Structure 1
Amino acid sequence: MLVCYNCSEDMTQAKEVLSLYRHFLRMGRILTHSDKEYYLRRVREEFRKNQNLTQENEIQRCIDRAHTFLRNGRLM
């Protein structure tokens, strides 16, 4: 029997990351065509670059960074 002690916390973080990704994609809708393509490419690249993170502190650092970008109204 496999026991996962941090599964609920991992799922919570996964849901938060997915929510942030969707939020960034929605923000891209307001951009002009050329800016939109660049912005969406950068968002995808940034999330793909970090998709294999396993250390809790690194994942949380990226989540905090994304929240800071959103709070300041910056687009990556």
Structure 2
Amino acid sequence: MSAESSDPGHGHSPAAWTAVIIMLIGVTVGTFAFWFDQPWVVLAGAVVVVIGPIVGGIMSRAGYGVNGPKYQPKGH
């Protein structure tokens, strides 16, 4: 790879983590609701899954994304 790579950072940012956690909660709720035959809760879980990337995008624009000014990378 070249020295000037356009590596997006693999999502190691507060915005990405928040979006993924919200979507995981939505999938978990939807799965349990499907198991217990609660269609309206399945739809609510699907809505939460759609909200996850929206919240992640808002946080990224607010500076908590990989290239944002409020993001501080941690050494691994």
TM-score range, shorter chain: 0.3 to 0.5
Larger radius of gyration, structure 1 or 2?
2
Which of the two has greater helix per residue?
A: 1
TM-score normalised to structure 2 length: 0.43
Using structure 1 for the length normalisation, give the TM-score: 0.43
